[in-house]
Amino acid sequence: MTDEARQAFLDMHNAYRSMIAKGLAKDPVGGFAPKAARMMKMIYDCDVEQTMMEWAKTCQTWQAPSSARKGYGQNRFSIRPIEPNKTIVAEKAVNNWFGQLAQKGVPQENMLNLNVFYRGVWYYTQLAWQWSYQLGCAVVDCNGFTYAGCEYNPSSLVAKGKAKNGTHGGFAPKAARMLKMSYDCAAEASVMSWIKNCIFKHNPGSDRPGYGQSLWSGSGSLFKANMTELAVWSVHSWYNELPTHGAPADNILTWAVFNTGIGHYTALAWQNTHRIGCGVVYCKGWVITGCEYNPPGDVIGSIIYEMGDPCVTDADCKCTGCKCSQEEALCIPPSS
């Protein structure tokens, strides 16, 4: 690899991500992909490059197993005959990946499901994945062709979009005074003391006074994933109970609502919860993750969160010492 090629890969990724964020990325029907509210600017990471280079040197043009790339996302490209200029290869590769948008398109709700994935947009969606911000790339000459690839961290693991409400196809109501969470090491110690037993069920509330709890488990290839990936996977799983099962229009948690299977989502979304601690434990052939919340949510008969337009001023938060973060639509408690 050359520094010029590295810079070309990075600059082109960020240029296209900027285009997407501004709503200027054309789709195949004459429109544009949706604007991005919080697209992250990528940085170049030599550790990510190293794993991509190790795979590219094999000259195998299929995707490397997740275990061989530390769970990073991966895009690949090849060109015949051999192209000696690595910068040209970088430009052609990224143009090819981004070009899937104009050829195949993405839905306006911007959700990646299997139907969308199998249109043939997987390289574009990885390039455009909001939370991917570390990039490493490689270019290798093989027998009669040049092979290029990039890896991404965090990878595009699951479909992410707006808070779709599964009950009626609309969206969950806006939250007027949702508190921003801060990390709590005492909550982490509490959940770790339980999940290290490798028992996938909730421990008694008396063992974790003052804490709510969410658990998640995985096996098979998930056992090889790193802790960061597992953290992302588990939280998405809890959040995705909303589009799967839905929440009621009045936003009240009753037993009937709880029993639909949205208890993890409601714990995540509980307005007054603002401290969280989490853990990941590798068990024998499977993995368990958990988070505990303080103050606990999921109080039957209570509102999940107050509905209304998000805060604009500190006074809108209606809690002593709270600060309004307009960009995040969250109220920041004084202890954060």
Residue 168 located in a structural domain: no
The answer on 201 and 70 residing in a single domain is no
Residue 159 located in a structural domain: no
The answer on 223 and 85 residing in a single domain is no
pTM for this predicted structure = 0.53
Tell me, what CATH number does 19's domain have? 3.40.33.10
Distances (CA, A) of 313 to 75, 213, 326: 43, 32, 8
- Per-residue pLDDT, 246: 82
Taking the C-alpha atoms of residue 57 and residue 195, their distance in angstroms, rounded to an integer, is 40
- Per-residue pLDDT, 290: 95
Boundaries of domain holding 46:
3-153
Count of domains in the chain? 2
Taking the C-alpha atoms of residue 264 and residue 213, their distance in angstroms, rounded to an integer, is 8
Residue 163 located in a structural domain: no
pLDDT per residue as tens digits for the range 229-259: 888 888 888 988 887 888 888 889 999 999 9
Mean pLDDT by 10 residues, the chain (336 residues): 89 90 86 85 90 94 83 91 94 95 87 79 90 91 96 59 45 77 90 95 89 90 79 86 83 93 91 92 93 92 89 90 86 78
The answer on 290 and 209 residing in a single domain is yes
The answer on 122 and 223 residing in a single domain is no
The answer on 189 and 115 residing in a single domain is no
* H or E element, residue 331: strand 330-332
Residue 247 located in a structural domain: yes
The answer on 209 and 94 residing in a single domain is no
The answer on 318 and 196 residing in a single domain is yes
- Per-residue pLDDT, 163: 42
Spatial CB neighbours of 212, under 8 Å, sequence gap ≥ 6? 267, 270, 273, 292, 293, 294, 296, 297, 298
- Per-residue pLDDT, 258: 94
- Per-residue pLDDT, 57: 95
The answer on 192 and 242 residing in a single domain is yes
- Per-residue pLDDT, 167: 47
Tell me whether the omega of the peptide bond preceding residue 107 falls within 30 degrees of 0, making it cis. no
Residue 295 located in a structural domain: yes
Is there a contact between 213 and 290 (Cβ–Cβ < 8 Å)?
yes
- Per-residue pLDDT, 41: 87
- Per-residue pLDDT, 27: 83
